[in-house]
Amino acid sequence: MIKRILLCLTMTVVFAQNNYPIVLIHGYIGWGPEEMGDYHYWGGTQDLQEELEKEGHIVFNVSVGPVSSNWERSVEAFYQIKGGQVDYGKTHAERWGVIQKPYGKKYAGLYPEWDADHPVHIIGHSMGGQTARMLLHQLKTVAYLDSSETFPDSSYLLGNSHLDWVSSITTIATPHNGTTLSNIVTRTLPFLQNFIGLAAAVGTKFYDFDLEHWGFERQIDENWMSYYERMRNHPAWETKNISAWDLSINGAQELNTLLQADPNVYYFSYTVSATHLDSASGHHVPRDGINLILKSKARTLGKEVAYWSDGSTTDSTWFENDAVVNTISQRGPTTGLNGADPIAEYRPNEPLITGQWYTTGPLDMDHWYVIGHTANKKEEKAEIRTLYIEHAKLLKSLPK
């Protein structure tokens, strides 16, 4: 597999042309570097941020709401990087009944220098890829408080235009067009519980759903299941201001209509697959060796059909999956009402242009293995490390 990754990624010219920092944005039910002890979202039992830094890359790892909407996650990412008081915007706060400026979300800034002269590369896994695209939109687009677009929002992020702050966006196993996995919260709980157990074994700050803006916090001495059940029964789950909506095929279609490719940004996507075609049924079934917790989800996704709001349905091209996200959805955004983003296969020897997605894969990995979870053997860790090191080299080779 390592040789195959190198074949996919190695460029003919690898000279560094920029040293822009890399920002890592975790996905749905993810966590930041201060949680889960020595068990890392990016790497599992190895620390991919540290591995990248050993190679001379500047890397920042943000911690955003694991179940929050992409709008809120991207706002949180911005202020963690740039610094300042998180401000979700007056219109957003009033529409969804959230606290506009949560008291506990004020940051010194991981990279206060961030601006058009000091742009960043963003890498997002799973929902983190959607969040990266939303952040770019918020940077570019001024949010107004009135329909005549006279009064901009007072927040630094939303009330101003910040052009050219992002050099590239890379998405890994991202549901750009949504996932057909229904009841995603319930179905992903067992794997999250497994992570919690691993972290507890080494001692850690407890996993936090980071929902202060909902007026929701973990109670003193509250056990994990009680905390989870209170979160799961919160009224926000019945709205569109939540991860479950953004991850659905209809929610993703709304995002894709809004978040079109920026002609000045480089785009990369990595697709992964944990299934193969069963010729007898026409469905996709899990590959041998897939994590047992994920196997049933891979089988379900391998035959599941979902419906868009206009009554049309997904077809058999959606059956291949990584046990959480349909592989076809990972290539890039195609379902927006304004048309699909341009998507091309990544080829190492061809020149790259901005405003177009370059996709690699599918790699034979499941949704979690691709960020290092369950990759515990020496050769497995080396495989994952190689994937990220080689891609970081590619990002560094992009022209300023």
* Minimum mean pLDDT range among 42-46, 209-213, 275-279: 209-213
Q: Per the domain annotation, does 185 fall within a domain?
A: yes
Q: Per the domain annotation, does 302 fall within a domain?
A: no
**How far apart, in whole angstroms, are the C-alpha atoms of residue 300 and residue 13?**
43
Interval 274-283 mean pLDDT: 97
Q: Which two tokens stand for residue 255?
A: 């995002």
Q: Per the domain annotation, does 285 fall within a domain?
A: no
For the stretch 79-126, pLDDT in tens is 999 999 999 999 999 999 999 999 989 999 999 999 999 999 999 999
Q: Give the chain's end-to-end CA distance (angstroms, integer).
A: 32
How remote is the C-alpha of 12 from its chain's centroid? Answer: 29
User: Using DSSP, how many helices (H) and how many strands (E) does the chain show?
Assistant: 11, 11
Interval 241-260 mean pLDDT: 95
Q: Quick one: pLDDT at residue 187?
A: 53
**How far apart, in whole angstroms, are the C-alpha atoms of residue 366 and residue 276?**
12
Q: Quick one: pLDDT at residue 34?
A: 87
Region of residue 381 (phi > 0: left; psi between -120 and 50: alpha; otherwise: beta): alpha
3-state secondary structure of 2: helix
Q: Quick one: pLDDT at residue 12?
A: 42
Residues contacting 316, CB < 8 A, separation 6+: 282
Higher per-residue pLDDT: 149 or 278: 278
Burial class of residue 341, CB neighbours in 10 A (0-12, 13-18, 19+): buried
Q: Per the domain annotation, does 59 fall within a domain?
A: yes
For the stretch 112-169, pLDDT in tens is 999 999 999 999 999 999 999 999 999 999 999 988 889 999 999 999 999 999 999 9
CB atoms within 10 A of CB 382: 14
3-state secondary structure of 61: strand
Q: Quick one: pLDDT at residue 193?
A: 57
Question: Which of these is catalytic: 322, 341, 366, 391?
Answer: 322
Higher per-residue pLDDT: 210 or 177: 177
Strand partners, 259: none
Q: Per the domain annotation, does 156 fall within a domain?
A: yes
Angle between helices 249-258 and 127-140 (to 10 degrees): 30
In this model, does residue 9 exceed pLDDT 70? no
For the stretch 339-368, pLDDT in tens is 999 999 999 989 999 999 999 999 999 999
Q: Quick one: pLDDT at residue 13?
A: 46
Q: Which two tokens stand for residue 2?
A: 């390592």
Q: Quick one: pLDDT at residue 206?
A: 62
**How far apart, in whole angstroms, are the C-alpha atoms of residue 120 and residue 136?**
11
Domain assignment of residue 337, given as a range: 2-274+321-396
DSSP β-ladder status, 266-272 and 120-125: unpaired
Question: Which of these is catalytic: 125, 367, 373, 391?
Answer: 367
DSSP state of 310: T
10: number of CA atoms within 13 Å, CB side? Answer: 8
In this model, does residue 64 exceed pLDDT 80? yes
Question: Which of these is catalytic: 69, 126, 248, 273?
Answer: 126
What percent of the chain lies above the pLDDT cut of 70? 90
Q: Per the domain annotation, does 211 fall within a domain?
A: yes
In this model, does residue 318 exceed pLDDT 70? yes
How remote is the C-alpha of 150 from its chain's centroid? Answer: 33
**Across the chain, what does the average pLDDT equal?**
90
3-state secondary structure of 292: helix
Place of tokens 């002269």: 117
- Confirm whether 367 is a catalytic residue: yes
- 271 and 332 Cβ atoms separated by less than 8 Å: no
Burial class of residue 334, CB neighbours in 10 A (0-12, 13-18, 19+): middle
Q: Per the domain annotation, does 374 fall within a domain?
A: yes
**How far apart, in whole angstroms, are the C-alpha atoms of residue 180 and residue 304?**
7
Question: Band of the pLDDT at 335, cuts 50, 70, 90?
Answer: very high
3-state secondary structure of 255: helix
Closest CA to 47 of 71, 68, 24: 24
Closest CA to 76 of 19, 17, 16, 30: 30
Angle between helices 378-396 and 2-9 (to 10 degrees): 10
The structural domain count of the chain equals 1
CATH no. for residue 349?
A: 3.40.50.1820
**How far apart, in whole angstroms, are the C-alpha atoms of residue 180 and residue 321?**
10
**How far apart, in whole angstroms, are the C-alpha atoms of residue 207 and residue 223?**
11
Residues contacting 131, CB < 8 A, separation 6+: 25, 64, 70, 73, 74, 77, 124
Question: Band of the pLDDT at 1, cuts 50, 70, 90?
Answer: low
Question: Band of the pLDDT at 203, cuts 50, 70, 90?
Answer: very low
Q: Quick one: pLDDT at residue 47?
A: 97
